[in-house]
Amino acid sequence: MGKDKPAGQKREIRVACAGAVELVPTGQLQPHPENPHRHPSKQVEKLAYLIIQHGWRHPIIVSTRSGFIIKGHCRLLAAKKLECEKVPVQYQDYDSLEQERADMIADNIIEEFGEWDGQKMADILCELDTANFPLAATALDQEQIENYVNGPKLGDHTPEPNPQKGLRTFECYLTEQQFDTVTCAIDEQIASGVDMDVANPDKRGNALYQILRNENTD
């Protein structure tokens, strides 16, 4: 992930995000104690690499009401990994603590409803490669890149789950520790790439199946 810095030298990263942002000492920022979103080490490493490649494109969002981070917990972890002394912060107003927490969750959940156009993705990746632009700067793994460019275009069509088409829900009870372990395992599998079953558009379900399948084949 780039060249090592000389001992004692802090990394300088360009702040590219415009608007009302302030450079705040990294150590002063407080993660939200109720943040339910986990960030596996691979995700943090990828984001740290992206920040090096692209600069700071998004500030960390901090609430003026509570003083906690609402958006950007992973960015903070990446900044600490990069040993950044200061990070760009945007302070935002919230009407209530409830609105804070809802926005914190929505910021992560809304991305799960998006879909990828496989053909456009393949076209862009080929153009970037032709221009000798590092494809790792897209955050895609090599296997994901090959899937888009050479294989079936993941994300071309992801219909909503339909129980009438052979899909089933699976429910069970877990302790808090068990839940955290399973959730982190699924998140890490998604971060490293998921083999999507054409009959099942649910990414987390496919990730869990892939984990179990890999365990049985080891």
pLDDT score for 6: 44
The 3-state DSSP class for residue 105 equals helix
Average pLDDT over residues 196-202: 77
Helix (H, G, I), strand (E, B) or coil at 135: helix
State the pLDDT confidence band at 168, using cuts at 50, 70 and 90.
confident
Whole-number Å distance between alpha carbons of 60 and 170: 36
**9 has pLDDT over 60:** no
pLDDT at residue 36 greater than cutoff 70: yes
Mean pLDDT of 45-70: 96
Quick one: 212 exposed, middle or buried, by C-beta within 10 A (0-12, 13-18, 19+)?
Answer: exposed
Whether the predicted pLDDT of 218 surpasses 80:
no
* Side-by-side strand order, sheet with 22-25: 22-25, 86-92, 60-63, 69-71
Is pLDDT of 7 > 50? Answer: no
The model's pTM is 0.64
pLDDT range class, residue 55, cuts 50, 70, 90: very high
| Alpha-carbon distances of 100 from 35, 108, 214, rounded to whole Å | 11, 13, 39
How much is the pLDDT for 104?
96
* Cα atoms in the 13 Å half-sphere on the side-chain side of 183: 11
% pLDDT > 70, the chain: 87
The segment with the largest mean pLDDT, out of 20-34, 107-121, 199-213, is 20-34
Mean pLDDT across 12-21: 85
> For 114-165, how does the pLDDT look when each residue is reduced to its tens digit (9 = 90+)?
888 888 999 999 999 999 999 999 999 988 898 888 865 444 444 455 554 5
Element (H, E) at 25: strand 22-25
The Cα 6–Cα 16 span in angstroms is 25
Instruction: Give the per-residue pLDDT at 166.
Output: 67
In terms of pLDDT, which residue wins out, 202 or 135?
A: 135
Rounded-to-integer distance, Cα 20 and Cα 31, Å: 21
Report the pLDDT value the prediction gives residue 138, as an integer from 0 to 100. Answer: 95
Residue 163: the pLDDT is 53
Decide if 22 contacts 56 (C-beta within 8 A). no
Domains of the chain, CATH where assigned: 22-113 (3.90.1530.10), 115-157 (no CATH), 159-218 (no CATH)
pLDDT at 23 over 90: yes
